[in-house]
Chains A and B, each alone.
Chain A
């Protein structure tokens, strides 16, 4: 197909573009993201497993890729990437100094090479605004990108055959295989950077360690771990299927339920574990973790028409009254009313009034739907990690 690529949506919309990542064919739920920066973080965010991301900002690749701006190991997690114009001449001091080192491909600087190295299909020359408006008006839907099959009809058949991503537990794909410790803090600019060779674990020495937390990895973004370190936690990450009993045995000071991909209802083991942890340990949920808590408390979740994906949603923190500009990436929401007073709403989205955070009325449990860890997006909500520390402190103060 000489660089040609097709994107076909399950409702029969066909876009013809140009391939700029790996060759092949990929299926996923097509969602749009309105962030103007942070494509590398978006690509590597495991919550996008099962999804093809359409970027609304028209030029992608401007600053290349680097070793530091990743949210998970082993490259992008998205199923496919859709852009208006791919830029193959990255310009940024960090990509120049610390491009992505990839096995067999040397040091990678450009977004296109990055996608190729990890087998991710990318398509450019798409009217991404028209696509966004279509998704907004008709809802997120399945799509297929192919650089190998030039027949729209055949692609339409393939995409219609797919049962949709709610049919799968995508967490299994992206969770850690083993328990590991995390020590790096969030990215900070440092003068006179000499060691380009460093590992992310050595990015920064942690603050004086305060409390130990266990993070359930449902597809955790590294920035959650980095922010926990910065908030003074000793961080241990455990695979998603780790039984609650095993975690309780580790006797952490608190447990974090991380973000992750897909429909929360498919992650039944996580819901069961959450039920067992609540009341025994302070629990903090983020995004999928928040939805899992909602389900664990007996509530229900619902799917948004096209979700929230971007870095500019205003959320009111009902505790402080302040409006925070937040990083967002979710398609599901907790229906607070279904929890019948067991929780208090703590955060509210000012765009559409949807639930953005809650706390248990009795137990030391709270959660947010948005991404206080940013990466990408604003840091306005980062203080919530300290709030979790305060919560733990409070619990201990009571006990002693």
Chain B
């Protein structure tokens, strides 16, 4: 069927900021959709509040709005742009919910906009548990016994027949927020109450638990002519009870016979037809009882999802791209398969490898959170690995995680601990399984505790057995003379074992560890004996057809031979499909799994580097292991290696490709850590030299550098021990900021006010990073923090942007809101900051990007840190100024000068952009929302306007912290903040907002003539402030605290604000910005403007 000609303009809704359960997979899908629709000649209007996305680049869509994702804003966009259709299936649950809201409010009808991809009815049928259950019954499929609960009373009745354990899922929440498993009535009541609050429709599904059953997912696509194909099947390693986002998952399904698989396939086809998703992709989840094969349908997502991104990367079939084309009426058989070119997309990919996805968690950031894995997603990122066997792909996935592990290392724990870690799902369970095997526990026993299918366990057993054989080898040759590493007599026996271990996916480092050798010893041994990784292609068809897309993964294959026809001699052959070109080429190292501190921003930079170098005619080679990203789209770089970012795996690729050089400065800490080791192996690092990077990272060298340039730094010292730290702090004076060196995201960074807390910290921190000392810095209280991004070609330096933080110095820069340009700093200070930045860039001989953090206190400028690499703020700066810093940097890195690129002066803008951070506190029950030097945010949004107040207000709306324009504000402050609160409260009252405060704060304000009500603290008797929050009598909370006790006392205030979705701020600077925003938003209507309009980009004809 030809594509539709009755629609011309399509509105695409993005998914907003990165949060747990909704990450960069939706940038990947949205970007693909934009490209696909424009390829077909449609005009695409895009809205997304997240600036750190490729989709919001001005080139991706025709018209791009970085505006809050609310029905109100969307209506404004619809009114202005008059799209013919909305594609709501690319932006996760956020976009789908918004589409439903727009439809229900009559906005779609009013402007005659059609939903394409999934119609309202289909969305409702898939999302509304009751309708879904009915639909399943109609087609003869089973669902868990369940009831939809709207009140505690109904809930207590229903659980009588549902029984325990019972699963609770609040309706319409992201990634299962608020869901959980109740094993008894007490837990049930707590979870139900919590769930009802979180559900926007106050509904919780309580259902029969299929706990411990096997879990499967199928990715299904359907076109307008009712052709249906299954793209990928996924089997979960972790059985039912662990959210699929938190499970280790494997593609394809491993333990289903064809009959059982076809039964699931038939069910999926029936489901997509019955739900009525007329075009596009859906994800369907099943549970299977492994004792008797009973199958139940868990849920269906009528949109692209995290799993569809994974399935796309796992198979090479681009689900989002194809879904977008199906949405405009094309059919599967009309769309070619990009990889094989000659065959159509109306087929089912078949793969000849095993894919393992492994989640990445961030519990170290939230020590108070419960690390048990449940039906509510808690992971912040994931890696994917490809191998020829499950064993190989599992081991590759493990070393892709970047959590310091290179395999299934030993765990020190006694049997009772091991057993409990097997029984209760947790992030490290697979290591405990391995340890349990070493301790002699049987597969059956482990299965009884974990319910994990014995098939997976047996595979792990084979890995452990190989470990045993390697260790035995180490014992055989006893104490080793390190040179040569292996006595020749042993080598003969050891090489076959080494080959076998490599085929099972063992890393060099893990093998070395088992042999008490260094990683490099194994690498050199391998190289000398030609045990080399080969590369195979991801081609959608298991080699049935020739593939044209160099999307590759490594494996260790078994050589074969040809018999020479005349001499009859054997010639060994190992097939490697890498087939490198002789073009000039550059490897760009990606940023690995998303984690707090290193997320989509770095992937964004890597993708830009690829685009820029392609423009210059380079062959670009991307290495990354994160399946959610745009960088791992085979369409992005010329060649894609889906590989772990370890020195071993990267060197293997370099050996195969022999690039001109490697770019490490875009992917965050991941590639940066590899810079020195790579250089040591003779690899050319393009751009800023590893030595310069070290000069900026190494405290002592850095101090010298600042001294040389005559720049200020807060007094600081380094310490290797508790005593050293105490004496350093004593000399500097408290409070001090302490942290380990070489970290990203403020890992283990704290502000300490006294000796006791410092000794305590030192005991913990030394564990955090043993090779590097702890840094002790004077903490500059109440200083304004400033972030600067700059670009340098070694001669000229251009400032990309100067960002003034809203929150004071001491709050991690990733967690702080900031404005570009600075909204309050004097011009003179900004000028001086720019001058200092340029001096630093020149001295460090930066080639490429550099980020500097400053603190400004009493007109004095201090340098906090210098990072000669792409920073988290690069995409934000790019969107705010329209200057593509990362692209320019990539070009500079390969030798272009800024002059040649036409960049000769700093860009000044007339509007204001505000970046705000987004936090996962609602996921981690019991975690305090107070901000500090340790980064906790998962994502960001941008508000943009010509006025600071409105830009800030928009950023707050976008991050779900909507500032009220009327009602009542609660305020409770630490003493130090009280003076600064007077103008805030005064302004609030003037704006007609009433103010209620705890006694101390209220008295202080009353003394200054402000009319403030008083409310009890929780300890002061009822009704107290938490009662008022729960009764929805409070519309905004301003709460600042100092000291551990005060923080503990006021914890329930912040917790209830979070739970009852009352917007709040925990800094006085945040409050100031908020009141400013209220004033502006009351005065003026919020307006919208596209990025192209801001930057004067003319629409393409």
Q: Which residues of A contact B (CB under 8 A)?
A: 8, 12-17, 32, 34-38, 40-41, 56-59, 62-63, 66, 68-69, 84-85, 87, 89-94, 125-133, 136, 152-153, 156, 187, 189, 191-193, 310-314, 316, 321-323, 325, 350-351, 374-379
Contacts and interface: CB of A to CB of B under 8 A. Distances in A.
Contacts of A126: 558, 560
A89 B455 contact: yes
B225 A321 contact: yes
A62 B254 contact: yes
A89 B254 CA distance: 12
Given A56-B543, A84-B389, A133-B575, A91 B346 contact: no
Contact of B256 (A40, A63, A374, A379): A63
A14 B560 contact: yes
A91 B343 contact: no
Rank and list the top 4 A-B pairs by shortest CB-CB distance, nearest first: A38-B258, A91-B455, A376-B258, A56-B542
Given A13-B562, A59-B354, A89 B544 contact: no
Interface in B560-600: 560-565, 568, 570, 573-575
Nearest to B290: A93
A92 B558 CA distance: 29
Nearest to B261: A37
11 contacts: A15-B558, A57-B351, A62-B255, A91-B458, A92-B256, A94-B293, A127-B560, A127-B574, A152-B561, A310-B542, A312-B541
B219 interface: no
From DSSP, what is the main secondary structure of chain B's interface residues?
loop
Nearest to A128: B352
B536 interface: yes
B259 A58 contact: no
A16 B253 CA distance: 29
A36 B454 contact: no
Interface of B: 225-227, 229-230, 252-263, 265-266, 290-295, 332-333, 343-344, 346-354, 388-390, 453-455, 458, 536, 541-546, 557-565, 568, 570, 573-575
Contacts of B343: 350-351
A321 B225 CA distance: 9
Nearest to B456: A91
Contacts, number: 197
A92 to B, nearest CB: 6
A13 B346 contact: no
Contacts of A57: 252, 350-352, 542
A189 B353 contact: no
A14 B563 contact: yes
Given A15-B560, A57-B542, A34 B257 contact: no
A333 to B, nearest CB: 16
A69 B333 contact: no
Contacts of B453: 91
A15 B156 CA distance: 66
Contacts of A132: 352, 542-544
A392 B804 CA distance: 81
A221 B563 CA distance: 38
A26 to B, nearest CB: 18
A8 to B, nearest CB: 8
A350 B332 CA distance: 11
A89 B257 contact: no
A191 B258 contact: no
A92 B563 contact: no
A162 to B, nearest CB: 17
A53 B346 CA distance: 26
Contact of B259 (A17, A68, A87): A68
Contacts of A152: 561, 563, 570
Nearest to A85: B389
A63 B344 contact: no
B353 A58 contact: yes
B563 A189 contact: no
Given A34-B542, A91-B453, A14 B255 contact: no
A36 B253 CA distance: 9
Given A38-B257, A127-B557, A62 B455 contact: yes
B350 A93 contact: no
Output the residue of B290, B293, B389, B536 with the most chain A CB within 10 A.
Answer: B293
Contacts of B230: 325
B346 A323 contact: yes
A13 B558 CA distance: 14
B350 A34 contact: yes
B227 A378 contact: no
Given A63-B257, A132-B543, A313-B347, A12 B558 contact: no
Contact of A69 (B257, B348, B350, B544): B257
Nearest to B561: A14
Contact of A37 (B257, B292, B351): B257
Contacts of A321: 225
Given A130-B560, A136-B544, A321-B225, A350 B261 contact: no
B458 A92 contact: no
Given A34-B544, A89-B454, A379-B266, A325 B257 contact: no
B333 A316 contact: yes
B942 to A, nearest CB: 43
Contacts of B352: 34, 56-58, 128-129, 132
A66 B255 CA distance: 13
A93 B683 CA distance: 52
Contacts of B253: 37
B262 A156 contact: no
A378 B230 CA distance: 10
Nearest to A223: B259
Contact of A312 (B350, B353, B570, B575): B350
A159 to B, nearest CB: 11
A58 B545 CA distance: 17
Nearest to B288: A93
A315 B524 CA distance: 51
A191 B955 CA distance: 54
Contact of B454 (A40, A91, A127): A91
A56 B349 CA distance: 13
Contact of B347 (A17, A40, A191, A312): A312
A15 B351 CA distance: 22
Output the residue of A152, A311, A378 with the most chain B CB within 10 A.
Answer: A378
Given A59-B389, A125-B558, A129-B352, 12 more contacts: A12-B565, A14-B560, A57-B352, A58-B388, A59-B390, A69-B257, A127-B557, A130-B575, A132-B544, A156-B563, A193-B292, A314-B333
B262 A378 contact: yes
A58 B350 contact: no
Given A85-B388, A127-B558, A130-B560, A350 B348 contact: no
Contacts of A92: 255-257, 260
Nearest to B251: A36
A399 B715 CA distance: 104
A269 B346 CA distance: 39
Output the residue of B257, B389, B557 with the most chain A CB within 10 A.
Answer: B257
Given A57-B542, A136-B544, A129 B258 contact: no
B353 A192 contact: no
A16 B261 contact: no
A312 B349 contact: yes
B333 A16 contact: no
Contacts of B565: 12
Contact of A34 (B263, B292, B541, B568): B541
Contacts of A34: 350, 352, 541-542, 544
B225 A325 contact: no
A325 B347 contact: yes
Nearest to B573: A130
B562 A14 contact: yes
A91 B290 CA distance: 9
A85 B388 CA distance: 9
A69 B344 contact: no
Given A126-B558, A192-B292, A153 B563 contact: yes
Output the residue of A8, A91, A152, A311 with the most chain B CB within 10 A.
Answer: A91
A312 B343 CA distance: 12
